[in-house]
Structure 1
Amino acid sequence: MRYLGLDLGRARIGLALADDVLRTARPLSVVRHRTREADLASIAATLREWEVGTAVVGLPLNMDGSEGASARYARAFAEELARATGVPVELFDERLSTFEAESRLREQGFSARELRGRVDAEAAAVILQGWLDGRHA
């Protein structure tokens, strides 16, 4: 089975892919935010193209574990994605995923300017890997 990780941002949605064989998430692509409908259609196409069995949406909890507006948005988006595609969607705590993604990319030698185009997909990989690790622990 394949899995798609999503890091929902204001301007971009990072996507990452993993499967049951390797169980290693890798950055896939970035969807530029347009409208909710267009974003859902683009992600639905990716789900079909890669024959994804489960999607994992990052849940941006506050550091104290509470939910704010971004978490409510992620929950609503996840519900709409599941309804629109029929693919099961799970939520996973994404606290510090962007920080970890930026650190990984800096270690690989990417400049601050280069990070902008890559960090969202890398953050999606961090989210998906965390979910996979928790699932197979």
Structure 2
Amino acid sequence: MRVLGLDPGTHRVGVAISDALGLTAQPLAVIDISGGQSSRLIPALAELCRQYEVTRVVLGMPLTLSGEDQGVGARRARAMGAAIEERLGLEVIYVDERFTTDGAQRVLREGNVRRKARIQVVDKVAAALILQRYLDGQREEA
């Protein structure tokens, strides 16, 4: 039973996958949705979900600093989640994504990843941080 993690953005969606035991998250892919390519998102996710036998999706919810899910980013995330539930038939769980991109940038800088390479992977690393936050929370509840 694997879980897919998503870091939604306006131009790219970072994707991460859990291990089979649901203990760790690994960066997986970045899906380009810029320039009118947003119609590619659901088919690309469907293929990944089939390939990895995904049972649920964790979607980063861009909350305000006060913890509210308002604003354009939150509306976009809810619309993406609704499309995933409707078209892929998977449960979508929303997780606070505040500061995950900053955290991903920091991890990559500390790992001496060059700026050009960071740009290409930061979204999937942020998705892994979102997914790991969810997986850690599940273990704490158990």
Short-chain TM bin: over 0.9
Q: 1:44 Cα shift?
A: 1.2
Q: Give the 3-state SS of the residue equivalent to 2:87 in structure 1.
A: helix
| Structural mapping, 1:59-74, within 5 Å | 59-66=61-68, 67-74=70-77
Runs of 4 or more off by more than 6 Å in structure 1?
none
Q: 2:114 matched to which residue of 1?
A: 111
Q: 1:96 Cα shift?
A: 0.3
| Structural mapping, 1:1-137, within 5 Å | 1-21=1-21, 23-33=23-33, 34-66=36-68, 67-137=70-140
What one-letter code is carried by the residue in structure 2 that aligns with 1:81? Answer: I
Aligned counterparts of 2:111 and 2:19: Cα–Cα separation in 1 = 24
Q: 1:36 Cα shift?
A: 3.3
Q: 1:19 Cα shift?
A: 3.0
Aligned counterparts of 1:108 and 1:16: Cα–Cα separation in 2 = 19
Taking structure 1 as the reference length, what is the TM-score of the superposition? 0.95
Contact 2:108 2:118 in 1 (8 A): yes
Identity %: 38
Q: Give the 3-state SS of the residue equivalent to 1:7 in structure 2.
A: strand
Contact 2:3 2:22 in 1 (8 A): no
Deviations 1:86-128, CA, capped at 9 Å, x for gaps:
1111110000000011111111111222110000000000000
Q: Give the 3-state SS of the residue equivalent to 1:136 in structure 2.
A: helix
Q: Give the 3-state SS of the residue equivalent to 2:81 in structure 1.
A: helix
Q: 1:37 Cα shift?
A: 2.7
Distance 1:46 1:109, change over 3 A: same
The alignment of Structure 1 onto Structure 2 pairs a total of residues equal to: 137
Distance 1:102 1:121, change over 3 A: same
Q: CA RMSD in A?
A: 1.2
